[in-house]
Amino acid sequence: MKTRRVAILGSTGSIGSQTLEVVASQPSLSVCALAAGNNWRLLAEQARQFRPEAVAVASPESAEAIRSAAGAGDVPHILSGPDAMTELIHRTHPDVVLSGVVGTSGLAPTLAAIECGATLAIANKETLVMAGAIVMPAAHAAGVPVLPVDSEHSAIFQCLLAGRREQVRRIVITASGGALRDWPGEKVEKATVADALKHPTWSMGRKITIDSATLINKALEVVEAHWLFDMPAEQIDVVLHGESIVHSFVEYCDGSAIAQMGKPSMTTPISYALSWPERFERQVAPLDLATAGKLTFSALSDRFERAVRLGHAAIARGGAAGAVLNAANEAAVEAFLAGRIRFGRIVEMVETVLNQTPPVTEVTLEALLRADSWARTQVQELI
């Protein structure tokens, strides 16, 4: 396999760190660019190990700290500021851009990657939820593959290879249910940050772990699947599956259901996105279903159904509704993590703001950014 130069956005986060594990194990991959927020110490360590052409950080102070900490020649170029990730892509021209940053900050560098013709490996679902109407047409026009890194969407992507798109009856996204899955409703309302962050099967960042506990992550994934696979909302379902072994499945017109299974590790979908259309040889323990025992599935509770319906509602509304859904959720989760609202208010607030989404005459980047800002303001007013 030809060597692929990889840019990793969000390299110090959970997805970014696991991506570097995969890169380190594969001789055909090299790191040309790394981007992080302000965790400059870890970024400096990563730069010393992988020797990228350039790195990007959020602030000039972090850039100066890396410049002082990094060894001579470890980081030829250090970029900083709000446009640093976009500049990083244009400077290094990677073959693959893996976006593992959280929230709307991944949008601009995603568009930059398309402009440069780089393959997109997207773990940042917020980019497609907010701006799928812009990102996907731009990628198609440029001939740029968009490869999902989320375990659920990677599973769907692989299962869709079993038949033609017109033969698909529905796609089913599985959900672990998060840390509070088995809690009674009255107890869930008052769950603490520590409670909501105790995910039973996955190790993820704080924001996505909270999204998993509310199940708004599945609302976002419904919208993401809509854009990735050009699938109408009524053909996208969600089912609870606590073991996180079946990552999602696709049901075809003849009744066949094709599932993708694996142990709950993000390195598997990361590896697939970086190797596609091939597969890397990896030294991993085989999936032992006999040891795993029962695989259980159940319908969504009313609490979870309310959260997931927000994704279907955003698709039905169209326009800037995806941007509003994403921004309102980000703002509400941020408020919960800061101790400003109780857990039970997150879905309630997002639903309220989504239902008030203002119409847009044309879906442009400027209109989506205005909707994003409006939604965050609405959440603050509700608080």
* Whether residues 22 and 59 fall in one domain: yes
Domain around 344: 318-383
On whether both 353 and 294 belong to a single domain, the answer is no
Taking only the tens place, the pLDDT of each residue in 21-37 is 999 999 999 999 999 98
Residues 258 and 336 in one domain: no
Q: Indicate if 43 and 160 belong to the same structural domain.
A: no
Write the single-letter amino acid at 27.
Answer: P
What order of strands is seen across the sheet that includes strand 54-57?
A: 77-80, 54-57, 29-35, 4-9, 96-99, 119-122, 146-148
> What's 54's DSSP letter?
E
The answer to whether 210 touches 191, Cβ cutoff 8 Å, is: no
Q: Are 310 and 351 in contact (CB under 8 A)?
A: yes
pTM of the predicted model, to two decimals? Answer: 0.91
Coil/strand/helix, residue 147: strand
Instruction: Give the CATH number for residue 133.
Output: 3.40.50.720
Pairing of strands 29-35, 257-261: unpaired
Longest dimension (CA), the chain: 62
The pLDDT of residue 236 is above 70: yes
* 68, 178: one domain: no
Is residue 294 situated within a structural domain?
A: yes
User: Is the same domain home to 215 and 90?
Assistant: no
- Residue 313 in any domain: the answer is no
Q: Which of 96, 115, 148 is the last residue of a domain?
A: 148
Q: Do residue 157 and residue 215 come from a single domain? A: yes
One domain, residues 137 and 185: no
Asked if pLDDT for residue 72 goes beyond 60, the answer is no
Question: Does 166 lie in the same domain as 135?
Answer: no
Domain count, the chain: 3
Residue 74 makes CB contacts below 8 A (sequence gap 6+) with 44, 47, 48, 51
Q: What is the C-alpha separation between 10 and 72, in angstroms, rounded?
A: 23
Give the three-class secondary structure for 383: coil
DSSP string for 255-318: S-EEEEE--S-THHHHHHHHHTTS------PPP-HHHH-----BPPPHHHHHHHHHHHHHHHH-
Cα angle, residue 362 at apex, residues 361 and 366 outer, rounded to 5°:
115
- Do 84 and 129 lie in a common domain? yes
The answer to whether residues 76 and 175 belong to one domain is no
Cis peptide before 277 (omega within 30 of 0): yes
For the segment 273-298, the average pLDDT, to the nearest whole number, is 92
Q: Quick check: helix, strand or coil at residue 250?
A: strand
- Residue 135 pLDDT greater than 80, yes or no: yes
The helix/strand/coil state of 225 is: helix
Task: Judge whether 78 and 256 are in contact, CB under 8 Å.
Answer: no
> Which helix or strand (DSSP H or E) is residue 29 part of?
strand 29-35
Q: Is residue 310 part of a domain?
A: no
CA 199 to chain centre: 17
- For residue 98, what is the enclosing H or E element? strand 96-99
**CATH number of 368's domain:** 1.10.1740.10
Q: Which of 112, 120, 62 is nearest to 86 (CA)?
A: 112
Beta bridge partners, 40, equal none
pLDDT of residue 202: 63
Q: Which percentage of the chain shows pLDDT scores above 90? A: 74
The pLDDT, as a whole number, for residue 74 is 67
Is a pLDDT exceeding 70 seen at residue 229?
Answer: yes
Whole-number pLDDT of residue 362: 92
- Of 148, 177, 211, the last residue of a domain is 148
